[in-house]
Amino acid sequence: MYIRTLMNRNDIKEIKELFSTPKNIVIVPHKNPDGDAIGACLAMYHYLNDKGHNAIVVAPNDYPDFLKWLPGSKDVYKFDMQNRQAKSALDKSSIVFLLDFNSLQRVGDDMMSTLEDFIGTFIMIDHHQQPDNVAKYLYSDISICSTCQMIYHFLEKLEDVKAITPEIATCLYTGIMTDTGSFRFPSTTSTTHKIIADLIDKGANNAKIHNNVYDTNSYGSLQLLGRALSNLIVVDKLKTAYITLTQSDLDEFNYQKGDTEGIVNYALSLEGIIFAVIFIEDVEQQIVKVSFRSKGSFSVNKFAREHFDGGGHDNAAGGKSKISLDATVSKFLHLLSSYKKELLNSYEE
């Protein structure tokens, strides 16, 4: 079925009408929200409250400490920990924003069933592939580097970029920075840089944001990185490198949420490597969380969807496995050889 992915003039007119009187609004990111998801939600949170609405961010669960300094972070409800307040906010709301995800499954089973019962208006803004048809208003563009950049474009469509405060600018800058790997991935365009320049003009303190996100490691998280790097295995012949972390590796270095974020990129930074993977054992959830990164035409979104119950973007995706860590790696290695041609042809210098 065809679904319209870009908001047209009539959609914008209707959304402006919706916003013309104060509303109760809930804003939702995906489970295990990252900088882009939380940045987009908090930017929208400030924008809507500044406009006189009563907006609340309800995240499915917690997010890393290196995002907790973001303005408004302390007001975020976590659906798993503050279930009563979160459900009550959803009950009262007539509009729910779904930001940085393409399918209700991405909020996790518990929250998904609550959202499925929601009878108001969904507005989805997202840059992942193949969005589900759940929202009355959908703004989906897989060519844009981040949902935060899309929020900026959404405000352009509402002719309200002037409403961007230093708080909103800070949230949007953070999401664009984290989802572009600090402005280095191919999805970073001149438009991205123009928006970033405008966000700095509007009060985003770029040096402070980089420091808050990247230079707040704990001793344990650096030691865990050391362990991950020493567990790195290179499959030269298939231009692939992968890392494993067992639950006991995590426990040994007092793992905190967010400590493994970005580690997979070290595997991708090896010269000649175009496919990088990290497998992280999670004994409590009885899964192995897998993150995939690639360079060039080898689609990790497709690989994750087909084999690891996941998805994402062409060059960055995630998934999970319900078998043991060793069995997951064996399955992966077995699959890998069948992708030889795609891997070797992915990235022409």
Residues that bind ligand 5GP (CB under 6 A): 30, 106, 291, 310-313, 316-320
Minimum CB distance to Mn ion, residue 148 (Å)? 8
Q: What order do you get walking across the sheet with 275-282 strand by strand?
A: 233-235, 240-245, 275-282, 287-294, 316-321, 311-312
Residue 126 interacts with Mn ion (CB under 5 A)? no
Pick from ligand 5GP, Mn ion, none: which does 319 bind, CB < 5 to 8 A by kind? ligand 5GP
SS3 178: helix
Q: Which of 102, 172, 179, 244 binds Mn ion (CB under 5 A)?
A: 179
Within 10 Å of residue 18's Cβ, how many Cβ atoms? 18
Pick from Mn ion, ligand 5GP, none: which does 311 bind, CB < 5 to 8 A by kind? ligand 5GP
CA gap 208, 194 in Å, rounded: 19
Shorter beta-carbon distance to Mn ion: residue 167 or 179: 179
* Region near Mn ion per CB under 5 A, out of 36-44, 67-75, 105-113, 278-286: 36-44
Minimum CB distance to ligand 5GP, residue 38 (Å)? 12
- Tell me the backbone φ, ψ of residue 112, rounded to 5 degrees: -60, -45
Cross-strand partners of 96: 26, 122
Shorter beta-carbon distance to Mn ion: residue 179 or 342: 179
Closest residue to ligand 5GP, based on beta-carbon distance? 318
Residue 36 interacts with Mn ion (CB under 5 A)? yes
Minimum CB distance to ligand 5GP, residue 302 (Å)? 12
198: exposed, middle or buried (Cβ count in 10 Å: 0-12, 13-18, 19+): middle
Within 10 Å of residue 183's Cβ, how many Cβ atoms? 13
Pick from ligand 5GP, Mn ion, none: which does 18 bind, CB < 5 to 8 A by kind? none
Residue 100 interacts with Mn ion (CB under 5 A)? yes
| b/e burial code for range 235-259 (CB count within 10 A of at least 16 → b) | eeebbbbbbbbbeebbeebebeebb
Please give the C-alpha separations between residue 168 and each of 39, 200, 254, in angstroms, as whole numbers: 9, 11, 33
Minimum CB distance to ligand 5GP, residue 310 (Å)? 4
* Region near Mn ion per CB under 5 A, out of 41-49, 140-148, 190-198, 199-207: 140-148
Shorter beta-carbon distance to ligand 5GP: residue 106 or 239: 106
Shorter beta-carbon distance to Mn ion: residue 88 or 214: 214
- Tell me the backbone φ, ψ of residue 209, rounded to 5 degrees: -65, -45
* Region near Mn ion per CB under 5 A, out of 33-41, 46-54, 135-143, 218-226: 33-41
| b/e burial code for range 286-306 (CB count within 10 A of at least 16 → b) | ebbbbbbbbbbebbbbebbbe
Shorter beta-carbon distance to Mn ion: residue 89 or 177: 177
Within 10 Å of residue 103's Cβ, how many Cβ atoms? 18
Phi-psi region of 194 (alpha: psi -120 to 50; beta: other; left: phi over 0): alpha
Pick from Mn ion, ligand 5GP, none: which does 126 bind, CB < 5 to 8 A by kind? none
Pick from Mn ion, ligand 5GP, none: which does 31 bind, CB < 5 to 8 A by kind? none
Footprint of Mn ion on this chain (CB under 5 A)?
36, 100, 147, 179
